[in-house]
Structure formats: structure tokens, C-alpha cells
């Protein structure tokens, strides 16, 4: 039975019907996928209006209409969620690694007059060096916190004695040594 504006009929082959029935009766599949499978199965019977299908599966008639259109266009793939746009990553992995590497360098070796980085000074210096076009100090703070790096303890794993260190990290990080003591990035004790 059709409404005011007739839709295209949904005709299921045996394979699609089997898959949809398995999804509709599953207790392990997420609820929205079960609901979508039930909508398509009811719509394929051809005797319910969108409003009636919506009442049976607890969704709106507009949702039923959209699901039917998506199924007709994409088949079983139309039951999956469309990719979300979301906010793209602002910085590449290399830029984030360069920010972390900069935080482990001594400010004095970078030509600064102070001995320890503040997050604000570090953000300003990163932009001045051209590592990124712009970065806020809260973003730098977040990156450092996720990596468990404290800029006032700048000797970390990025300061390696390994002669192949530059080759292994793609030339991104140049080791800087302040003393013979190197602190581990995870624990605050000397590494031997």
C-alpha cells in the first residue's frame, strides 16, 4: 500500500532477505541496524505505509522514507551509517612530533634567554621556527600532556646517543645534550 506519493517498490532477493532477517533478529547487532533491517523487511512486503512501518519499529515516517531511499540507492550498504564529516586533524603527525621534539630541546640552544620552556613561549617559538603556521598554547599544552612530556624537564628519549637516530626518525629530531644524564620520558630517573 502506498501513500500520497508512491515510492519505488523494494524487491529483495533471497540473499538480501536472509541477511536482513538475521540482522532483524540479532541480539548482538546495534539497535539502529536492527531497526533499519526491520524497516526494509516490512517495506518489502508492500502492504504498509511509511507511517505504519514507523509505528511498528518505533521511528518516524520520514526516517522510514529515508531508509527506503538509501536502500534502493545502495542496497545493504545503505543500512550503514554515512561517514561523518567531523573536524579534520589540524596538525599532521610530523608536525605534532616536531612540536614534541622542540619541547625537549633546551631554550638556550634555541637562542632564548631563559632556561626552561613555558607553554606560551614554546607555542610562540614553534610558530617563529615555522614548524606550524599557528598554534595556541592550550593546544601545545594538550599535546605535551598526551605525550607525558614536561617542558621544564627537557631531556627525554628524543635525545639519543644512537648514531643512526636521525636516519631512524626521518631527520625530524636532532638530539640535544645538556649533560651526561638523560631522563626517561615515562619515569623521572636516570637511564644508564
- Label residue 135 by pLDDT band (50, 70, 90): very high
- Label residue 125 by pLDDT band (50, 70, 90): very high
User: Across the chain, what does the average pLDDT equal?
Assistant: 80
Separation of alpha carbons 147 and 150, rounded Å: 9
Q: Among residues of the chain, what percentage have pLDDT more than 70?
A: 76
β-pair partners for 183: 190
Separation of alpha carbons 122 and 135, rounded Å: 10
Nearest to 39 by CA among 17, 51, 21, 54: 54
What's this model's pTM, rounded to 2 decimal places? 0.47
| pLDDT tens sequence across 145-174 | 988 887 665 454 555 566 776 677 665 555
4 has pLDDT over 60: no
Helix (H, G, I), strand (E, B) or coil at 190: strand
Separation of alpha carbons 125 and 114, rounded Å: 13
Q: Where are the domains of the chain?
A: 14-79, 93-168
Amino acid at each position: 500500500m502506498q501513500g500520497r506519493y508512491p515510492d519505488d517498490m523494494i524487491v529483495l532477493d533471497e540473499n538480501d532477505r536472509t541477511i536482513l532477517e538475521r540482522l532483524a533478529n540479532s541480539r548482538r547487532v546495534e539497535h539502529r541496524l536492527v531497526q533499519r533491517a526491520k524497516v526494509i523487511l516490512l517495506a518489502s512486503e508492500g502492504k504498509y505505509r511509511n507511517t505504519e512501518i514507523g509505528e511498528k519499529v518505533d521511528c518516524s515516517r520520514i526516517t522510514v522514507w529515508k531508509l527506503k531511499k538509501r536502500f534502493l540507492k545502495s542496497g545493504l550498504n545503505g543500512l550503514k551509517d554515512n561517514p561523518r564529516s567531523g573536524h579534520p586533524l589540524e596538525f599532521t603527525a610530523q608536525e605534532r612530533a616536531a612540536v614534541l621534539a622542540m619541547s625537549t630541546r633546551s631554550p638556550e640552544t634555541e637562542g632564548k634567554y631563559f632556561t626552561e620552556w613555558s607553554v606560551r613561549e614554546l607555542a610562540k617559538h614553534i610558530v617563529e621556527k615555522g614548524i606550524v603556521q599557528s598554534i595556541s598554547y592550550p593546544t601545545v599544552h594538550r599535546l605535551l600532556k598526551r605525550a607525558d612530556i614536561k617542558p621544564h624537564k627537557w631531556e627525554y628519549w628524543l635525545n639519543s646517543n644512537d648514531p643512526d637516530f636521525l636516519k631512524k626518525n626521518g631527520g625530524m629530531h636532532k638530539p640535544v645534550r645538556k649533560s651526561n644524564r638523560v631522563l626517561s620520558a615515562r619515569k623521572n630517573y636516570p637511564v644508564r
